[in-house]
Amino acid sequence: MRIATGGLIDREKPIRFTFDGKPVTGFAGDTVASALLANDILLMGRSFKYHRPRGPVTAGSDEPNALVTVGEGAEARPNTRATCQEIYDGLTVTSQNRWPSLRFDAMAVNDLLSPFLAAGFYYKTFMWPRAFWEKLYEPIIRRAAGLGALSGQPDPDRSEKAFAHCDLLVIGAGPAGLAAALTAAEAGADVILATEDTRPGGRLLSETVTLGDQTGREWADRMAARLAAMGNVRVMARTTVTGVYDSGTYGALERVAEHVMPGEAPPTCFWRLVARQAILATGALERPIAFPMNDRPGILSAAATRTYLNRYAVSPGARVAVFGNNDDAHRTATDLAAAGVTVAALIDTREDATSDGAWPFYPGAEVIETQGRLRLEGLTIRKPGGTLRIGADALAVAGGWNPALHLTCHMNGRPVWQEDIAAFVPTANAIPGLTPCGAALGTFSTAGCLEDGRRAAEAALDALGHSPKPIDLPDAEDTPYSPPATWAVTAPGRAWLDLQNDVTTKDVHLAARENFRSVEHMKRYTTQGMATDQGKGSNVTALAILADATGRTIPETGTTTFRPPYVPVPISSMGAGHAGKGFAPERFTTSHEASTARAAPMIEAGLWYRPSYFPVHGEKTWRESCDREVRMVRECVGVSDVSTLGKIDIQGPGAAEFLDLVYTGTFSTLKEGRIRYGLMLREDGHVMDDGTTARLGPQHYLMTTTTAAAGPVMAHLEFVAQGLRPDLDVKLTSVTDHWAQFAVAGPRARDLLNSLLEEEVTDDAVPFMSCWLATVSGVPVRLYRISFSGERGYEIAVPARYGAALWRLLVAQAESLGGGAYGIEALNVLRIEKGFITHAEIHGRTTAYDIGMQAMMSKTKDFIGKAAAARPGLTESTRERLVGLRPRDPANMPLPGGFLFTKGETPSRANAQGYVTSACWSPTLETHLALGFLASGPERMGETLRFTDHLRNRDFEVTVTDPVAFDQDGGRMRG
Amino acid sequence: MADLIARPATHGLLPIEIGSVVLEDAQPEAITWIAPYNRKKSAVTRTLGGFPGPGQVVEVKAGRALSVGPGQALILGAPAACDDAAVVDQSDGWTVVALDGAAARDVLARLTPLDLRDSALSENATARTLLGHMTASITRTGPYRYELMVFRSMTQTLIHELTRAMKHVAARARLSGPG
């Protein structure tokens, strides 16, 4: 119910939203949970396993019960904590894990079966028959137990990611965090203050404390305004720091626009915050006490009760009982009474406790039973002298506080037990550069938190090399806090620990009885702490009960490991911007538009997009286009964009010696204006890449790499230049993108060039494997006479700004000669006919010997990979070596990936003699052709083998041939 | 013979203005890669009129020289020449765009892990870094202006990524301030 006055809500701004289709009204400043409570709706969800009716127990991100789905369609967010979700006009909220409705849930039958469904039940019961687990039992169990469901629609990818840097990151903006941020900011440090809440203040927004002559919230507002006005402070509200990573990097989830109707703003932002120092001021989480039937809607934490009361002006009930083991219970009763709510009873476990409030007071008493179904109706207490039933529609429970130390465990820090507060505190130096303070460190008074925040900031400033300036901190309450450890009430009935996963104290005892005594084993056996709240409220209580059950102390029992993220992070936030075009950069050649204008299908080659083929009118399949393009090159002239090949400019007095080192062949003897084919090995003696290198000047070379290896080769050359031979004076840089480069290939290639170039291309001026400077329409171009097709071939390179224009010109001229553009399908066929290798053959496991290029390994000089390539295992003739393959029936295609077997042998793994790497239909030779590797291959020319492709069910005979199927002496390309 | 028409990498794609930020073409007349030969740095510095140290931008005779790697600089401006260094024309190898406006830094913070604070990237500082998935060069040329360079072939991705970030920053600005 709503209290008539007070709270941090704006009563002038009513907000209308729906819950399970029914209209609900709240005020600006409300969360879904506070607005529903204001409307006396306590039932907000069903538990995971027993489908028990549940209401909120917290007012923050540690909420286990009140999980709802927010929004609709692809934008719907399941498992949203109603305690964090701010309301806005038009918001739709739907309850989860119930059918047909939240009030009547058919699956609640599980609760009646609960005596049979204790921890470990599934593992024991559904073991037989074995195959049934995966196919039958698990799917049924998963359907019965659940949370919210995703929409099934593609994620709209509207979130974002960002980076921020600071001197000091303050995590949490309660009294300790505000004092720390202020101290650091006044000293001139660059501060980021991150708070999970919508505004700074922390517990000050929930309590009736005073700081100096101001209320807690007035002071918090003034501090927030003061910080916001400083140029060196960035206050990040709605931002939860979720994880700690190396070198002062923190992950954080900002809820950017989840509090407004979905629009253009990103719903969330996943931040990578990099801080030289950090302060943990995350406060503490109030813990429950496990007593029988402690899960009914209306039973919630005392701290949350005060938050609803003081911040949202909402009471969870009209008659509220309070149960606790420390003075927070009394504070809660006082706040309730001040708000005009009837305090049904104050029940304190301490026998010596006193109270002068105008309410029934029961010291030395415990709650041993509760009544009600869809909400609390009453409770039974055990007090000195007997039991008593009390009518109440809500119960606030104060069991003490657990420091929110989770982030200090992200680098394997183990919390330390502190006896006087009966709680774990962060271990010292758990995270380099992170200083815990305030309640996160076990300091619970307001005055203590302020002072602790200042102290932590001064330590951080010292590490940053800043001098602190004196900061005035107000007087505040300094109440001592030393509660007894109260974990569970001994009484018959189910007492819940993990509310979301329905783990009870009995389950923990059962785990101990079955010898799952380690806290990690207990966790897995019972699923304690494995729900979306990661056991924030229940883990410590569960391990305390395990300690009791196993006769050990709590520190001996230890904690489970807290890992990132602290709160659930949507995958769409972590992967924001990486769907579709954001997946990887797209690299486009200068001919891209012209190619797509001709409806050429584009294929990815690394990050590049290359045209597969250029269909012409009437062609129905890619093969028709490809065959035509191959014949065009063989018979006339074709033009192809080869700009994607890596181009590395290498200069300097040491350039020649450098190339002699990285290539197996010798390049110092290459004459200016000439080109040589080169093979490059890795240090381990296997082939790294191949390509041609031209000598442009006495100290100037241009290396060509394959498209795929352009980056790795550049990195390799940098490594050699900087690491292996820093003495060589050689400078290198990639010029891949500067040059647009087009292959012009075919018997009429020279004619085509002569129709464009201002200089005449003759075979004397431009012999095979030479380069030449020329001019097209006044633009200087480089001309290389090389061939990857086996035909007379040139590559013409022009600065990329002219690429689109030159491409159109080349294609137009080619077409006027009867040729045209060809794509990489045809390019691939042309090279297979010629037995030219690509990375299909130099796939990382082959040597120069394997590809038949052992003669290219210079005997007269050293080169990278030479020693390793000479190892006996790499030079045995029985190695799988490059061969050509031709099917006995030309219509059969030996697909890459298929295996080769000796005729008559069973086609099984142990008998494999080799494999196929490339294959095509050769329109030139009118047969399928393939390249592959075969044991002792070159010695088996003419042998008939069995080709088997087990995946695609092909099985036929092939004949071993020379890899070069067409124009073996190379006369066509030499001209 | 028809003329070969030069086409800028950003042809038809820029400028784009979203919120307080403008993304525009900033391609210089020429981009020249210079790497002084060993023990020739002072000679090169004399010839060019300067040579940038790591992370630096210096004005030289031909224009502005950015440090882009160990012993390497790019000169943005007129074509540059120098006998004591490896010199490579990279005018068409890189796309240069400028991001200008009060929120330019916020836009970049969505794409680069670089520390963009004044203390780390002052005016006339430069860095090789990542921009989304691309390797890039980022130079701060004014209080609210940054020049960004990526390989020419990635121009469309550069504009796609920047546009997305610009939209997000502008949409955030339109949200009412934190509660």
Same domain, A637 and A760: yes
Residue A144 has pLDDT above 70, yes or no: no
Alpha helices in A517-567 (DSSP H): 519-526, 539-550, 554-557
- List, as ranges, residues 644-673 from A with C-beta within 8 Å of B: 649, 651-653
Same domain, B70 and B36: yes
- The string of pLDDT tens digits covering residues A721-733 is 999 999 999 999 9
- The string of pLDDT tens digits covering residues A441-498 is 999 999 999 999 999 999 999 999 999 998 999 999 999 998 999 999 999 999 999 9
- The string of pLDDT tens digits covering residues A161-208 is 999 999 999 999 999 999 999 999 999 999 999 999 999 999 999 999
Counting Cβ atoms within 10 Å, is residue A906 exposed (0-12), middle (13-18) or buried (19+)? Answer: exposed
CB contact under 8 A, B38 and A729: yes
CB contact under 8 A, A266 and B168: yes
CB contact under 8 A, A265 and B151: no
CA distance A181 to chain B (A): 18
**Secondary structure class of A161 (helix, strand, coil):** strand
Q: Which tokens sit at B157? A: 């991705």
- The string of pLDDT tens digits covering residues A220-262 is 999 999 999 999 999 999 999 999 999 999 999 999 999 999 9
Tally of domains within chain B: 2
CB contact under 8 A, A160 and B168: yes
Q: Which residues pair with A323 in a beta bridge?
A: A347, A397
**Does residue A199 sit at the B interface (CB-CB below 8 Å)?**
yes
Contact A122/A137 with Cβ under 8 angstroms?
A: yes
Band of residue A132 on the pLDDT scale cut at 50, 70, 90: confident
In a domain, A374, yes or no: yes
Same domain, A309 and A395: yes
Least confident residue range of A126-140, A402-416, A651-665: A126-140
Same domain, A923 and A939: yes
Q: What angle do CA A791, A794, A796 make, to 5 degrees?
A: 155
Domain closes at, from A418, A449, A464: A464
Torsion sign, CA atoms A563, A568, A573, A575: positive
In a domain, A579, yes or no: no
- CATH number of the domain encompassing residue A368: 3.50.50.60
Residue A700 has pLDDT above 70, yes or no: yes
In a domain, B2, yes or no: no
Q: Which residues contact A168 (CB under 8 A, 6 or more apart)?
A: A181, A184, A189, A190, A191, A192, A275, A276, A277, A278, A279, A457, A460, A461, A464
- CATH number of the domain encompassing residue A947: 2.40.30.110
- The string of pLDDT tens digits covering residues A563-607 is 999 999 999 999 999 998 899 999 999 999 999 999 999 999 999
Q: Which domain holds residue A510?
A: 487-557
**Does residue A585 sit at the B interface (CB-CB below 8 Å)?**
yes
CB contact under 8 A, B178 and A238: yes
Same domain, B118 and B74: no
CB contact under 8 A, A198 and B179: yes
Q: Which residues of B108-121 are buried (b: 16+ CB within 10 A; e: fewer)?
A: bbbbbebbbeeeeb
Q: Which domain holds residue B51?
A: 30-89
Domain closes at, from A100, A116, A149: A149
Same domain, A889 and A949: yes
CA distance A172 to chain B (A): 16
Least confident residue range of A148-157, A484-493, A564-573, A705-714: A148-157
Set of chain B residues whose Cβ sits within 8 Å of the Cβ of A608: 153
Set of chain B residues whose Cβ sits within 8 Å of the Cβ of A737: 92-94, 151-153
Band of residue A145 on the pLDDT scale cut at 50, 70, 90: low
- CATH number of the domain encompassing residue A775: 3.30.1360.120
Same domain, B66 and B114: no
CA distance A511 to chain B (A): 46
Same domain, B98 and B166: yes
| pLDDT of res. B1 | 57
- List, as ranges, residues 289-348 from A with C-beta within 8 Å of B: none
In a domain, B1, yes or no: no
- The string of pLDDT tens digits covering residues A802-846 is 999 999 999 999 999 999 999 999 999 999 999 999 999 999 999
Q: Taking CB atoms and an 8 Å cut-off, how many pairs form between chains A and B? A: 166
Same domain, B57 and B122: no
Same domain, A891 and A941: yes
Least confident residue range of A145-159, A616-630, A773-787, B102-116: A145-159
Domain closes at, from A797, A831, A865: A831
In a domain, B9, yes or no: no
Same domain, B35 and B121: no
Q: Which tokens sit at B177? A: 């301030």
**Does residue A734 sit at the B interface (CB-CB below 8 Å)?**
yes
Same domain, A779 and A796: yes
Same domain, A67 and A131: yes
| pLDDT of res. A543 | 95
CB contact under 8 A, B37 and A237: no
Contact B64/B52 with Cβ under 8 angstroms?
A: no
Same domain, B57 and B125: no
Tally of domains within chain A: 7
Set of chain B residues whose Cβ sits within 8 Å of the Cβ of A162: 109-110
**N-to-C CA span, chain A:** 95
| pLDDT of res. A109 | 83
Same domain, B100 and B21: yes
Same domain, B43 and B78: yes
CB contact under 8 A, A586 and B157: yes
Least confident residue range of A107-111, A471-475, B42-46: A107-111
Separation between Cα atoms, residue B143 and residue A535, nearest integer Å: 48
Same domain, A132 and A18: yes
Separation between Cα atoms, residue B46 and residue B82, nearest integer Å: 10
In order of A271, A287, A417, B25, B100, the CA distances from A498 in angstroms are 30, 11, 21, 58, 52
Q: Which residues contact B165 (CB under 8 A, 6 or more apart)?
A: A160, B107, B108, B110, B111
**Does residue A805 sit at the B interface (CB-CB below 8 Å)?**
yes
Domain closes at, from B41, B58, B89: B89
| pLDDT of res. B178 | 40
Domain closes at, from B40, B57, B89: B89
- The string of pLDDT tens digits covering residues A919-967 is 999 999 999 999 999 999 999 999 999 999 999 999 999 999 999 999 9
**Secondary structure class of B14 (helix, strand, coil):** coil
Identity of the residue in B37, B109, B165 whose CB atom sits nearest the CB atom of A729: B37
CA distance A654 to chain B (A): 10
Separation between Cα atoms, residue A353 and residue A359, nearest integer Å: 14
In a domain, B81, yes or no: yes
| pLDDT of res. B179 | 36
Set of chain B residues whose Cβ sits within 8 Å of the Cβ of A256: 172, 175
CB contact under 8 A, A160 and B178: no
Band of residue A111 on the pLDDT scale cut at 50, 70, 90: confident
- List, as ranges, residues 247-276 from A with C-beta within 8 Å of B: 256-257, 259-260, 263-266, 272, 274
What's the average model confidence in pLDDT over B37-63? 97
Contact B65/B58 with Cβ under 8 angstroms?
A: yes
Contact A711/A688 with Cβ under 8 angstroms?
A: no
Same domain, A637 and A651: no
In a domain, B112, yes or no: yes
Same domain, B148 and B98: yes
Same domain, A888 and A822: no
Beta strands A416-418 and A423-425, pairing class: antiparallel
Identity of the residue in B157, B167, B172 whose CB atom sits nearest the CB atom of A256: B172
In a domain, A409, yes or no: no
Separation between Cα atoms, residue A396 and residue A333, nearest integer Å: 9
Domain closes at, from B89, B107, B134: B89
In a domain, A868, yes or no: no
Same domain, A383 and A506: no
Q: Searching chain B, which residue's CA lies closest to the CA of residue A808? A: B4
In a domain, B110, yes or no: yes
Residue B177 has pLDDT above 70, yes or no: no
Separation between Cα atoms, residue A862 and residue A871, nearest integer Å: 15
Set of chain B residues whose Cβ sits within 8 Å of the Cβ of A198: 178-179
Same domain, B21 and B38: no
Q: What proportion of chain A, given as a percentage, has pLDDT over 90? A: 93
CB contact under 8 A, B167 and A264: yes
- CATH number of the domain encompassing residue A105: 3.10.20.440
- CATH number of the domain encompassing residue A728: 3.30.70.1400
In a domain, B102, yes or no: yes
In a domain, B179, yes or no: no
Q: Searching chain A, which residue's CA lies closest to the CA of residue B36? A: A731
- CATH number of the domain encompassing residue B119: 3.30.1360.120
Same domain, B39 and B63: yes
Set of chain A residues whose Cβ sits within 8 Å of the Cβ of B71: 731
CA distance B162 to chain A (A): 11
**Secondary structure class of A208 (helix, strand, coil):** coil
**Secondary structure class of A7 (helix, strand, coil):** coil
Same domain, A119 and A176: no
Beta strands in A637-724 (DSSP E): 638-641, 647-651, 675-681, 687-697, 700-704
| pLDDT of res. A106 | 84
Closest CA to B131 of A246, A709, A585, A711: A585
Beta strands B134-142 and B72-77, pairing class: unpaired
**Does residue A246 sit at the B interface (CB-CB below 8 Å)?**
no
- The string of pLDDT tens digits covering residues A520-547 is 999 999 999 999 999 999 999 999 999 9
In order of A362, A654, A712, B16, B33, the CA distances from A726 in angstroms are 83, 10, 19, 45, 20
